[in-house]
Amino acid sequence: MPELFGLMQDSALTVDRFLNHGATWHGDREIVSRDADGTITRTDYRGLRHTARQVSDALLAAGIEPGDRVATLGWNGARHMAAWYGTTNIGAVLHTLNPRLFPDQIAWIAAHAGDRLLLADPALAALAARLVRDVPTLETVVFLCAPEDMPAVEFPAIAFDEWIAAHPGTATWGGFDERLACGLCYTSGTTGNPKGVLYSHRSNYLHTMMALQADAMGLTQRETALLVVPMYHANAWGVVYAAPAAGAKLVLPGVRMDGESLYELIEQEGVTFSAAVPTVWQGLLQYLRGTGRAFSTLHRVVIGGAAPPPALIRAFQDDYGVEVVQGWGMTETSPLATLSSPTADVLAQSYDEQIRRKAMQGRLQVGLDFRLVDDAGNALPYDGASSGRLLIRGATIASGYYRDDTPVLDADGFFDTGDVSTIDAEGYMQITDRAKDIVKSGGEWISSIEIENLATGHPAVALAAVIGVPHPKWDERPILLVQPAPGQTADKADVLAFLDGKIARWWMPDDVVIVDAIPLGATGKIDKKLLRQQFAGYRLPE
């Protein structure tokens, strides 16, 4: 029997459709940007589309073709967003560089990607100079600023506003295969060199449809979204696409991410929704507690990148009326894969049970599949107790790395996330550790994440990190590193007493070390790799 195909129009799923939709049907919705000096600038989706089309004209005039890599090196702002859409919408590949990585690593990444053109924040001029020197494919540098704000550099460069000024903004967008490359983002390289994750238009489009669901980010035209998560971090969690698709007002905070600066923007612009890593929200929470201030409009935040402690979730919900939704994903998953929005059954349970579920990484988004396996590859049950390696597959999951032939999928097409987790009967997934971070003591696993989350519930603790150190009998034992909260003095005995009874006795850290600061990586996560280096040769107390 011949196949019967549907009689629907064949319309390519390309990301230019998002900004075109926003500009056509939500054209007056504001996009607010804060520059490094604190200056606030305003445009809207109609204006952003025009600027992005001018960028496309300028790129085409510079000889940029479909598939060419165009790099950005900057913070969250309207010029950066115009460069984003101006690049992707003509079939070129947007490569967001992370300015918080080491300069040698950034140069390696840009050279590996073969970037032809760089759009950089003027404050990063020294870093741009390094790339001009060390990236042989780099032809043009544009600084994301007006001519009067151009930095003094010793290489040819032009200001963004001048670069696009002569162009009418008439470039044709779309009209290409949805499977073409759209964006390129490199992993942070915690082991070996960073790896390039090459997103397609189709994968980004489908990811946006997932993110817009009510049990995901749930953005609507009525929301005002503060994009705190950096635009260089895994597609900005999809908000750069979801906001114009929904017509939400968008607030871009630039480089200033301290509690006071974020609070000012939230109140000034009537922000209702935001997304960021836990360390940002910890800083904002400390600012609120120190000043006695509260929110007048913010009602929901998505926290991802690392597990938010239950104490943080409770504080925002109980003290400030802000719902916390945890999201989990990685660069290779576009990134959102699970979210902890409560089900009807969870909402019918006690408040403590609801918080327990919110502290988990959540339920899988539609179109994705999970698998939980032991070290031998055997499937484990979804009973909430069996802990194993987490595998994932789907249309928004990487099938390989850019310019790297190493296979990354198993025989059934699943990608190994490198996370160790449990999944319960209701589908709630909980990361117990990264495979490389887990503490294995006497042949048994100890969850560093669970100990850290409990420790940060202590009022004197701002940040906590657990690493394993060698032990002559048990192979490894955990030690707990504590960064005190501002104005507080943390005490080893007091912290251990706080943990006593909350975890198994054999999980109790063998030592608590009070440190001035716990190092954070380029995406705001605790840098366990650096901590292990710093504590190499550490000897446990007798």
Q: With helix as H, strand as E and coil as C, how does 473-499 read?
A: CCEEEEEEEEEECCCCCCCHHHHHHHH
Q: How far apart are CA 368 and CA 338, in angstroms?
A: 9
The answer to whether residue 387 scores a pLDDT higher than 80 is yes
Q: Which of 251, 392, 258 is CA-nearest to residue 335? A: 392
The answer to whether residue 144 scores a pLDDT higher than 80 is yes
Residue 99 C-beta-side C-alpha neighbours within 13 Å: 20
Phi first, then psi, for residue 140 (nearest 5°) are -140, 140
Q: What is the value of pTM for the model shown?
A: 0.86
**Token pair recorded at residue 459:** 């009022």
Q: How far apart are CA 81 and CA 170, in angstroms?
A: 18
The answer to whether residue 192 scores a pLDDT higher than 70 is no
Mind listing the pLDDT tens digit for each residue in 13-47?
A: 999 999 999 999 999 999 999 988 889 999 999 99
The answer to whether residue 366 scores a pLDDT higher than 60 is yes
Side chain identity at residue 68, one-letter code: D
Strands (E) across 278-378 are located at 300-303, 323-329, 336-339, 363-364, 368-373
Which residues belong to the active site? 187, 332, 440, 445
Only one residue has tokens 């459709």, namely 17
Most confident of 186-195, 261-270, 309-318: 261-270
The answer to whether residue 446 scores a pLDDT higher than 90 is no
Q: Would you state the pLDDT for residue 540?
A: 84
- Who's near 461: CB < 8 A, 6+ residues apart? 455, 482, 483, 484, 485, 488, 490, 495
* Averaged pLDDT score across all residues of the chain: 93
Only one residue has tokens 């292990």, namely 532
Confidence of residue 444 (pLDDT cuts 50, 70, 90): low
Mind listing the pLDDT tens digit for each residue in 245-269?
A: 999 999 999 999 999 999 999 999 9
Domains of the chain and any CATH numbers: 16-28+44-201 (3.40.50.12780), 439-534 (3.30.300.30)
Handedness of CA 522, 417, 329, 395 (dihedral sign): positive
Residue 222 or residue 193, greater confidence: 222
Mean pLDDT of the region 486-493? 88
Residue 194 or residue 393, greater confidence: 393
Q: Would you state the pLDDT for residue 224?
A: 98
**Token pair recorded at residue 143:** 């600084």
Residue 457: Cβ-neighbour burial (10 angstroms; 0-12, 13-18, 19+)? middle
Q: Would you state the pLDDT for residue 397?
A: 98
Residue 506 or residue 228, greater confidence: 228
The answer to whether residue 447 scores a pLDDT higher than 90 is no
- Who's near 299: CB < 8 A, 6+ residues apart? 272, 273, 321, 322, 323
